Amino acid sequence: MSINRVASIDLGSNSFLLLISERDDQGQLCVIEDICLVTQLAQGVQKHKFFHKDALERANKAFEHFFEKIKYYGVSNIKVVSTSAARDVTNKQEFLDLGLKYNFHIQIISGEKEAELSFLGATFDQEHIDESFVLDIGGGSTEFIYKQSHGLFAKSIDMGAVRLREMFITGYPIKKSEGEDLRGYIRKLLKENFSKENFPKKMLAVAGTPVTLAGVIQAIEFNENKIHGFRITLNDLNLMTHRLSKMDLNEIKLLKGMDEKRAHVIYAGASILYECLEYFNLPDLKVSTKGLRYGLALR
């Protein structure tokens, strides 16, 4: 077993992510492997408040895959956290016990802790972070984080891509009224929770939604060098949300750069990004492929 390596696992509401990394002689984080599996853990959680048996089966398969990778690389230091979906359910113990089968001691963290780790992971390789806020769109919630003189401002809002899709969207193409209701709900939450004047004027967006959209806009499969640091404009998002709303689910899945398992929630995620740029009067955002799992490894 390597004592220098760490496996950091982020069990999100829509995706499970595994980062295997180690420090070099200069103390820099070196990535050995970075894996994302879409599990749709939050399937039905908004309505029923418990994990669906199919979601737990997909989680089990992801755990099995992660366990084999961790074993292959000889990692003994394993950190596992779960976020929004696991905070909301009545059968969370079943999920925790599932993790223990693979020696994964899952810690269910608060929205504020989630935001802190996401900020650390998203900004460790960025410059001028005092001028930016991090937006982390998950399946169940979205985190807003920025640096203040006395620490971090961090707020978690229950408007993740899976949650909003289940609340508002009944089918594809999306009904005009459903799209309007979804976007209106986002605007309502933003107005209730944030003052525009107090926010930094640059956005750094992490997680599956911006990463996927960066690939679709460029019509490329995932490429770290072309996606990390890519800028998405307000106009890009306006065109993309309009385009997605007119497509059926199979057409969305066939878009170049689209992860077909994310197709059902990409409209909701893109709408969150668009409404956030619009609300904070920002022309564009910068995409980061890093995030919570990197923050966990750095901690």
What band does 3 get if pLDDT is binned at 50, 70 and 90?
low
Class of domain 112-294: alpha beta
pLDDT at position 45, please? 78
Above 80 in pLDDT, residue 127? no
Neighbours of 233 (CB within 10 A): 14
pLDDT winner (highest mean) among 131-140, 166-175, 287-296: 166-175
CA–CA–CA angle 52, 53, 56 (5° rounding)? 90
pLDDT for 1 beyond 70: no
Sign of the alpha-carbon torsion through 114, 142, 69, 25: negative
Cα 105 from Cα 103, distance rounded (Å): 6
Instruction: Say yes or no to pLDDT of 244 above 80.
Output: yes
238 or 158: whose pLDDT is higher? Answer: 238
d(CA 163, CA 212): 18
Same fold, 2-109 and 112-294: yes
Q: Tokens for 6, please give them.
A: 């760490």
Residue 125's pLDDT is 81
How high does pLDDT run on average in the chain?
Answer: 91
pLDDT of residue 268: 97
Locus of tokens 């401002």: 153
The closest of 35, 109, 37, 115 to 75, measured between CA atoms, is 35
Rounded mean pLDDT of 210-224? 93
What's the whole-number mean pLDDT along residues 218-232?
92
Separation CA 17–CA 6 (nearest Å): 14
At the fourth CATH level, which superfamily is domain 2-109? ATPase, nucleotide binding domain (3.30.420.40)
| DSSP letters spanning 113-182 | HHHHHHHHHHHTT-S-GGGEEEEEE-SS-EEEEEEETTEEEEEEES--HHHHHHHH--SSSPPHHHHHHH
Domain boundaries, the chain: 2-109, 112-294
Contact assessment for residue 156 and residue 137, using Cβ atoms and an 8 Å cutoff: no
User: How is residue 175 annotated by DSSP?
Assistant: P
| Stretch among 94-98, 131-135, 235-239 having the lowest mean pLDDT | 131-135
For 65-88, the pLDDT digits (tens) are 999 999 999 999 999 999 766 877
**Residue 165's pLDDT is what?**
95
- How far apart are alpha carbons 101 and 106 in whole angstroms? 11
Q: Is 97 helix (H, G, I), strand (E, B) or coil?
A: helix
- The helix or strand, by DSSP H or E, that contains position 112, with its residue range, turns out to be helix 111-123
